[in-house]
C-alpha cells in the first residue's frame, strides 16, 4: 500500500447490505446517469468511448470482463470552480460464484484536488454467496445484496498534505462514501429518490441544530449568562448526534467500515483481479470529452502501483 509521504495509509472500506435483487442494484450503480444521483462524490459522470453510455459489462461468453471504458467526472457546479478528472472502468456481471465485480482507476486534472489519483472496486455479493442471517436483513426470504467497496488514493505531495489527508480528508471521504451507500439503499429498498433523501437529511440536521439553539437560548434567558447558553447548546447538540437517524434519512453509521473477521471478510476486502489487469487512464489515448464543461486535460502519474490489500 503506498503511503502519503512517510505516513502509511489505510484503504477506505465500506460495506452495506441492501434488500434488493442484484439486477436492480447493478442498474442503479453501473448506469452513469443513476450513479451520479446517489454518489455524493460526483456531480457528473460521462462515458467517453461508449456511444450508448451503457455500463462496461461482459456478456455470458466473456469470462475476462468487458473492454474498459473511459470516463470523465466532475464534482462541483457545471459553471465555476470544480474538481474534474478522468478514469477507466470495467466490470464482470456474470461470474461462476454468483458475484459481480467492477473496478476503476482515476486521476484528477488539477493539483489542488485532495484525490490526485487512485483505484477501487465494487463487489456485489448476493444472498446465495453470503450468509443472510449475518446482516439481519433477509427476514421473510427477501433477496438482498451485500454491496462492498474498497479504494485507495494518493493525495497532495506538498509538505503537510499527508497529515491533512490523514486527519481530515480521508475520514471525510470515508464518511461521504458510507453516507452515499445508505442513500443508495433508501433508493433501492424504499424507492426514495436520492434528491429527496438529501432533503430529508438536511431537514433532520436543521431540526437537531434548532433544538440545540432553542435549549441554549432558554438557558441563557433563565440564567442571564450567554456563556451558559452556549455550553448548553453545545451539550444538546452533542447528545442529539447520538439519537438514531430517521428511517428515511441517509446515515453513514448504518454501514460497516471495516472488513468482517474471518475468511469471508478477507475475501470481500481483497481487490479483484479485474483491477490488476486494468491499465491506468494516463496509459491510454485521451479522447475528447463528451461535454463542453468537462476539462480535456490529461492526468499524469502512474496508478498501476496502487493496491488495495487491507493491512
- pLDDT category at 50 given cuts 50, 70, 90 is low
pLDDT band at 265 (very low <50, low <70, confident <90, very high): confident
The pLDDT score that the predictor gives to residue 66 is 62
Note the pTM of the prediction, 2 decimals. 0.81
Helices 22-30 and 170-190, interaxial angle, to 10°?
130
Residue 303 has pLDDT above 50, yes or no: no
Strand partners, 125: 146
Question: How many Å apart are CA 278 and CA 274, to the nearest integer?
Answer: 6
Q: Which pLDDT value is given to residue 285?
A: 43
Encode pLDDT of 105-132 as tens digits: 999 988 888 999 999 999 999 875 444 4
pLDDT at 140: 55
% pLDDT > 90, the chain: 51
Residue 132's contacts (CB-CB under 8 Å, 6 or more residues apart) are 138, 144
Three-state DSSP class for residue 274: helix
Residue 79 pLDDT exceeds 80? no
- Given a cut of 60, whether residue 48 has pLDDT beyond it is yes
pLDDT at 279: 82
| C-alpha R_g of the chain | 21
- DSSP letter at 282 equals G
Q: What is the mean pLDDT of the chain?
A: 80
Amino acid at each position: 500500500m503506498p503511503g502519503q509521504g512517510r505516513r502509511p495509509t489505510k484503504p477506505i472500506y465500506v460495506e452495506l447490505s441492501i434488500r434488493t435483487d442484484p439486477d436492480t442494484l447493478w442498474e442503479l450503480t453501473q448506469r452513469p446517469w443513476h450513479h451520479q444521483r446517489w454518489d455524493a462524490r460526483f456531480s457528473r459522470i460521462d462515458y467517453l468511448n461508449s456511444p450508448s453510455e451503457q455500463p462496461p459489462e461482459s456478456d455470458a461468453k466473456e469470462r475476462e470482463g468487458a473492454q474498459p471504458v473511459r470516463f470523465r467526472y466532475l464534482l462541483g457546479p457545471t459553471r465555476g470552480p470544480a474538481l474534474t478528472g478522468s478514469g477507466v472502468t470495467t466490470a464482470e456481471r456474470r461470474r461462476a460464484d454468483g458475484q459481480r465485480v467492477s473496478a476503476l482507476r482515476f486521476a484528477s486534472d488539477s493539483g489542488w484536488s485532495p484525490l490526485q489519483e487512485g483505484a477501487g472496486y465494487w463487489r456485489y455479493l448476493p444472498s446465495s454467496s453470503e450468509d443472510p442471517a449475518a446482516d439481519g436483513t433477509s427476514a421473510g426470504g427477501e433477496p438482498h445484496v451485500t454491496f462492498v467497496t474498497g479504494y485507495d488514493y494518493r493525495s497532495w505531495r506538498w509538505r503537510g498534505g499527508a497529515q491533512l489527508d490523514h486527519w481530515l480528508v480521508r475520514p471525510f471521504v470515508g464518511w461521504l462514501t458510507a453516507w452515499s451507500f445508505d442513500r443508495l439503499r433508501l433508493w433501492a429498498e424504499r424507492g426514495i429518490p436520492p434528491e429527496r433523501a438529501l432533503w430529508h437529511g438536511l431537514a433532520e440536521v436543521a431540526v437537531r441544530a434548532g433544538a440545540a439553539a432553542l435549549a441554549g437560548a432558554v438557558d441563557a434567558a433563565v440564567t442571564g449568562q450567554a456563556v451558559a447558553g452556549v455550553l448548553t447548546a453545545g451539550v444538546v447538540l452533542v447528545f442529539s448526534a447520538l439519537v438514531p437517524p430517521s428511517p428515511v434519512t441517509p446515515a453513514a453509521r448504518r454501514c460497516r467500515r471495516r472488513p468482517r473477521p474471518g475468511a469471508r471478510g478477507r475475501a470481500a476486502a481483497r481487490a479483484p483481479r479485474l483491477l490488476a489487469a486494468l491499465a491506468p487512464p494516463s496509459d491510454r489515448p485521451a479522447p475528447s470529452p463528451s461535454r463542453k464543461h468537462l476539462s480535456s486535460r490529461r492526468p499524469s502519474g502512474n496508478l498501476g502501483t496502487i493496491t488495495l490489500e487491507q493491512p
